Amino acid sequence: MSKTYYDPADLRKFGKITEWSEELGNKFFEYYGKVFEEGALTAREKSLIALAVSHTEQCPYCIDAYTKDGLQRGITKEEMMEALHVGAAIKSGATLVHGVQMMNKVNKLDG
Amino acid sequence: MTKLKTQSLQKKGSDLAQSNRQLEILSNGIFKNGELPTFKDKISETSQFPLKAKKLEILQINVGYMCNQVCEHCHVDAGPDRKEIMTRETMRQCLEVIKNSGAHTLDLTGGAPEMNPDFRWFVEEAAKVGIKDFIVRSNLTIIRANKKYYDLPEFFKKHNIHVVSSMPHWTRGKTDKQRGDGVFDKSIKALQELNAVGYGMPDSNLRLDLVYNPSGAFLPGDQTSMEKDFKKALKEDFDIQFHNLFAITNLPIARFLDYLVASENYEDYMYALVEAYNPAAVANVMCTNTLSISWDGYLFDCDFNQMLELPVNSKAKHVSEFNEALLVGRNIVISQHCYGCTAGAGSSCQGVVA
């Protein structure tokens, strides 16, 4: 057994998930490919969104994949970091906006 | 002032300055233990082995390995410390080939070809032959390196040279990281000077194309999208225009191979190349219509094979023995570096091929 939960080499094996459920696996990859095609958003914009979400989801495979994808598209490290801050802002905002709930509760119980 | 990144592998006495050591790395490890298929096995899957040379269309002449830059990923291992320079005598032999061959394109490369003391003589003589597309691969900074080169844009224009120049990115940081501090600013100045004499302008016949190759261990993105981004940024930031962008994959040889091994990216990079393998690109790889001539007149299937010292598989091995009939149909010499030309949309000195 591997001594770590994550092995970078496992990313290359992602496609193998179809082996245990071919139809669903294929449908997922077809959908996935379609999502990242150029549409109303450019493939470059989608790559930056994916990078930010990879971090908020804390998925190491996705972080490796979309950092590399960004470099391939000529995205600069400054652009990448700004995208991450968008993710981080939403994450921290999502925490802090619940502060209103806390305040409501305090006011109700102890107002 | 440009600051050189480093010395050539040859000057440093590096193990990887030896082509046989590079070929060993490319044949051993993941390719020997069967983890990845060799290039021969891969193209055999689609019955494309052996790769055969077709009609000769492009003559690429390397006039010397001397360069004013020492770029991080140079496949030539070029630099100021390299002394291999084509002599006028070999140039005369090349001129005979240019006159007698059916090639429509002449492509001068280096090193910095302009640093060869007979460069201008050679261009003037070759231009008289009236070849359709006469390319000089200029690194741009050479135009600003010394007063004696300041008139190069005018010289290129006079001989209707098609200028092809490297530009790794539209930002200073990424460009200087790969090519040396100060390279970006000099390149921008040189591009503006080329524009000023008419190069790269939308309706101009004076062709100015840029070459993009990735600054690290990753493959180039889509050529069309990259071209759009480059054009927008260079126009907005510096009022620079150019015609086309060629996205070229870094081949795992010489300094780029050294970098891949040292940064522990070699295996992942080879996986990426093999995973991106595209049989459609194989049909159009440049070695099938190109002949590469080295500074000392030897013949190779491409500039990469030249650097790996893999000569053509033909009785005619030197420019003095040039015989088009002998060279057509020859088997192309391959190794695992060839995956670099068949990944994704393919890669050649003229960009994508598929």
What H or E segment, with its residue span, contains residue B136?
A: strand B133-138
- Closest residue to A12, CB basis, from B218, B219, B271: B271
For the cut 90, the answer to whether the pLDDT of residue A45 exceeds it is yes
What is the interface pTM, i.e. ipTM, of the complex? 0.81
Q: What percentage of chain B reaches a pLDDT higher than 90?
A: 91
What's the pLDDT tens digit per position in B24-40?
999 999 999 999 999 99
What's the pLDDT tens digit per position in B37-72?
999 999 999 999 999 999 999 999 999 999 999 998
| Tokens 């032999």 -> residue | B93
- Closest residue to B225, CB basis, from A44, A68, A71: A44
Number of compact structural domains in chain B: 1
In a domain, B351, yes or no: no
A44/B contact by beta carbon, under 8 A:
yes
The pLDDT assigned to B174 comes to: 85
Domains and CATH numbers, chain A: 36-110 (1.20.1290.10)
Distance CA B324, CA B281 (A): 25
In a domain, B4, yes or no: no
Residues from chain B contacting residue A73 (CB–CB below 8 Å): 221-222, 225-226
Residue B231: give the domain boundaries. Answer: 9-341
Residues from chain A contacting residue B274 (CB–CB below 8 Å): none
Distance CA B269, CA B265 (A): 6
What's the pLDDT tens digit per position in B224-258?
999 999 999 999 999 999 999 999 999 999 999 99
* B76: number of Cβ within 10 Å: 23
In a domain, B41, yes or no: yes
- Angle B32-B36-B41 from CA coordinates, rounded to 5°: 85
Q: Provide the CA A68 distance to its chain's centre, in angstroms.
A: 14
For the cut 90, the answer to whether the pLDDT of residue B210 exceeds it is yes
Distance CA B339, CA B354 (A): 14
Distance CA B81, CA B10 (A): 9
What H or E segment, with its residue span, contains residue B57?
A: none
Q: Using the Cα atoms of residue B120, residue B121, residue B122 and residue B125 in order, give the sign of their dihedral.
A: positive
In a domain, B353, yes or no: no
CATH code, B309: 3.20.20
Amino acid at B325: A
Q: Using the Cα atoms of residue B109, residue B112, residue B116 and residue B121 in order, give the sign of their dihedral.
A: positive
For the cut 70, the answer to whether the pLDDT of residue B209 exceeds it is yes
Number of CB pairs, chain A paired with chain B, less than 8 A apart: 32
B152 CB contacts (<8 Å, ≥6 apart)? B114, B138, B142, B143
The pLDDT assigned to B5 comes to: 58
In a domain, B260, yes or no: yes
In a domain, B76, yes or no: yes
In a domain, B3, yes or no: no
Residues from chain B contacting residue A43 (CB–CB below 8 Å): 222, 225
Residue B351 in contact with residue B245, Cβ under 8 Å? yes
In a domain, B349, yes or no: no
